[in-house]
Structure 1
Amino acid sequence: MAQFDPAAATAAYLAVLTPAQHAKAQAYTQGGHWLLLWGAIVAVVASWLVLRSGVLVRVRDGIEKGSPKPVRVAFAVLIVDAILEFILNLPWSAYSDWWRETAYGLTSRSFGGWLGEQLAAGLISAILFTLLLVGLYTLMRKAPKTWWLWGSGVVALFFVVVMILAPVFIMPLFNKYQPAPPGPVRDEVVAMAKTVGVPSDKIFIYDGSKQSNRYTANVAGLGSTSRIAMSDVMFKKDADIAEVRGVVGHEMGHYVHAHVFIFAALYALLALVGFFIIDRAFAPVARMLGAKDVRGLSDPAGFPILAILLTVLGLISTPIRVSITRIAEADADTFSLEHFNEPDGLAKALVKTIEYRAATPSKLEEVLFYDHPSVGSRVRKAMDWKAAQQKVDGVS
């Protein structure tokens, strides 16, 4: 019997796509790297325009005349800012999130459908992040020297709360979730969930294809809000049981290893560093931008300055942020292989994601930009696992 060759098996899986398809995926992926820079520039310009317009100062002054309560002032100013920046960023969002996705065949959604969803998402984001920011501005007023320390904890709490509530109150606004129908797929997922201690009573299929043609599943929520959801794209692309086991096993790994709490802690640490820098940089940046009527860091009318700083820091920290996620994704792959032993199922599913994530980037590109390990490395990992298992089985 010929010895199994992981390198040859990996090459065979990657060869499922033609050279032209790989080239298209590479163009899409590398173009996406540039979008990070251009998107940051657009966001900075939008914030600068809002700041220079003086609209937020006028809103602040008008609200203070009728109600000097700082929370009301902050809420009103931040909502106005959210609306203005949403409008200013909309043309760029239309290009990057709809036109480009359509051009690469990654969505079949109409512009009207996309725009309607953007408006709804923008409204929800404006409310949620305004509440978060009102809390941060309250800290700035009450603890001006240490707000950045307490603020990182607020960010962590906010992250966890949103992750808990999103499956119940937010996600159903954008997709229709239906209980997975009785059959082999549901039976297999239920058995998998019971094996690793994931709640098995909420297994759904959702119409993810209306937003994207991407192949995905997820486990979301905590405690009573936990649920397993598989995009209908998985079934439109002829997923078999082995693929379902590989992909859903990966998502269960995120849940069992409590990655949501790890993300919350690490993002809180990033927020701590970022807020500390903002605390020191706000005043000189405000002077540089000519924000004469902004009273200081705790003045919500100066939020565009804070937004510019957050955008720049976010861009600079991209390698750190994507590496945090990439490490968790690799851990979830390992979990899937160890508990459900479907290297070929996982590999077949991964190959279907190459169209939106180039399979073989350079190591530097992967470290700087990839929030998942490259498909090539993930398939090779699965094939190495398969080879190791065959050796074990051969010995036994």
Structure 2
Amino acid sequence: MQLLMMAAGSAPAAGGFDVDQATQAYMAMVQGAARARSDAYFEGGYWLLLWNALLSVLINWALLHFGWSARWSAWARRVGKGPTRRVMLYVIPYLLVTTLILLPWSLYTGYFREHQYGLSNLSMAGWFGEEGKDLLVNLVVGPLIIAGIFAVIRRAPRSWWVWGALVMTSFTALGALVFPVLIAPLFNQYTPMQPGPLRDQILAMAHAQHIPADNIYVSDASRQSDRISANVSGLGPTVRITLNDNLLKRVSPPGVKAVMGHEMGHYMLNHVVSLIGEFALVWLLVFFLLWWLSPRLLKRHAGRWKVSDPADPAALPLYVALGSAIMLLLTPVTNSITRVHEIEADAFGLDAAREPDGFAGVSMMLGEYRKLQPGRLEEIIFFDHPSGYNRVRRSMEWKAQHLNELPPEQRGIMRPAPLPAKF
């Protein structure tokens, strides 16, 4: 059933629409134990960022320190013909072993912790199935990416940081193109949305924005969790409008339209292209630091690690360890890049769907797994999306500015029904 419904009590506030009062009415949807649980889950993620980086550094250091990486490189040199094949062969044991070592941690973060907070619908067998598919994709894609990076390290030792960033950016763009049609269907089934008024309204919104899509696909994401999601993904001929079945089951039609307006905003504002461009600058910085730091560390530890050449695939654990540490430090930067794009899509979606209360209600539902009202610095550092509080407030500010354009029954302060006990 559609659980996000508005209770009675939507008469206009005396003296005009009160943004603060309307915002607090939504924030009151989640209080007490539900708010504490949501905050605890999200704040725990701050520590997961640190522990993930530390584990990556520790495991990759061990691969170098105990000579495993050098032995894999020697094996690949004996078996493979040509430097590219050798790199691709090396990546196979690297991925298999690191995945196996990290399995207990992955089980905790991806299965037990998610079930602890009621955020996963997967059985353990289902979880292992998902992880197995992910590993298979990595075993296909990973060797190609790593081989491309080591190719530029060999051919341009003085400037490989520039070309390495270009390789990563190129694969990112390729991923955006092929993911909707080749990768996503490996994890979920996509079926056309059933005909009906809501489908017609979403398509009408898309056509008004000149989005080249004549169908809407629904994914069976409820197999994995109850999280709501949607996207307008792909580039060029692979563009498709997708929403998950949770969105249709749990959210009212105004909320669904608000979400789809947001997702259309990403497409119309060319966010895929701008994100690729901005993250290209991030990759440029990361690869520069790898280029500058790795020769010094290889020279210092060559005797122990049995690796001295930056172009030797045995140096991969060093690059991964350094990259993990660098990306951890860049967390505020990468999160802010994404968050700014989300804010822009929010504004676009409010104009396109004209459903401020629908979007505010959905923003509160996302509080199932996102802290709703963080501190300002906390949001800058740890949030890749705007907080629930800021999204609701901006929705109410939009409503106040467009009050006379809305139907009379939508002009007052809505009194949202509390979220269900499952929250």
TM-score over 0.5 for the alignment? yes
The equivalent residue for 1:210 is: 223
Deviations 1:271-313 (A, max 9, x none): 1111111111002333555643113211111110111000000
**Aligned residue runs from structure 1 range 277-356, under 5 A:** 277-287=289-299, 291-356=304-369
Q: TM-score, normalised by structure 2?
A: 0.90
The equivalent residue for 1:276 is: 288
The answer to whether the aligner puts 1:263 opposite 2:262 as a matched pair is: no
The answer to whether the aligner puts 1:94 opposite 2:107 as a matched pair is: yes
> Does structure 1 retain, via aligned residues, the 8 Å contact 2:79–2:86?
no
**Aligned residue runs from structure 1 range 1-396, under 5 A:** 2=14, 3-237=16-250, 239-287=251-299, 291-390=304-403
Between the two structures, name the one with larger relative contact order (CA 8 Å, sep ≥ 6).
2
**Quick one: which amino acid aligns to residue 32 of structure 2?**
P
Corresponding residue SS for 2:384: coil
Moved more, 47-56 or 342-351: 47-56
**Quick one: which amino acid aligns to residue 127 of structure 1?**
V
> Does structure 1 retain, via aligned residues, the 8 Å contact 2:336–2:380?
yes
Corresponding residue SS for 2:242: strand
Q: Deviation at 1:246?
A: 0.4
**Quick one: which amino acid aligns to residue 242 of structure 1?**
P
**Quick one: which amino acid aligns to residue 57 of structure 2?**
V
Matched-pair identity in %: 38
> Does structure 1 retain, via aligned residues, the 8 Å contact 2:121–2:225?
yes
Quote the Cα distance in structure 2 between the aligned partners of 1:296 and 1:375.
49
**Quick one: which amino acid aligns to residue 275 of structure 1?**
F
**Quick one: which amino acid aligns to residue 334 of structure 1?**
A
Quote the Cα distance in structure 2 between the aligned partners of 1:106 and 1:65.
47
Quote the Cα distance in structure 2 between the aligned partners of 1:9 and 1:16.
12
> Does structure 1 retain, via aligned residues, the 8 Å contact 2:198–2:253?
yes
Q: Deviation at 1:68?
A: 4.5
Deviations 1:225-264 (A, max 9, x none): 1111111111221x22211110011011111111111111
> After TM superposition, which residue ranges in structure 1, 4 or more long, deviate above 6 angstroms?
none
Corresponding residue SS for 1:352: helix
Quote the Cα distance in structure 2 between the aligned partners of 1:364 and 1:389.
31
Alpha-carbon spacing, 1:138–1:343, altered in 2? closer, same or farther (3 Å): same
Quote the Cα distance in structure 1 between the aligned partners of 2:377 and 2:36.
19
> Does structure 1 retain, via aligned residues, the 8 Å contact 2:193–2:216?
yes
Quote the Cα distance in structure 1 between the aligned partners of 2:241 and 2:148.
32
Quote the Cα distance in structure 2 between the aligned partners of 1:286 and 1:120.
34
> Does structure 2 retain, via aligned residues, the 8 Å contact 1:56–1:80?
no
Mark the runs of 5 or more structure 2 residues left unpaired by the alignment.
1-11, 408-423
Quote the Cα distance in structure 1 between the aligned partners of 2:283 and 2:55.
22
> Does structure 2 retain, via aligned residues, the 8 Å contact 1:79–1:127?
no
**Quick one: which amino acid aligns to residue 253 of structure 1?**
G
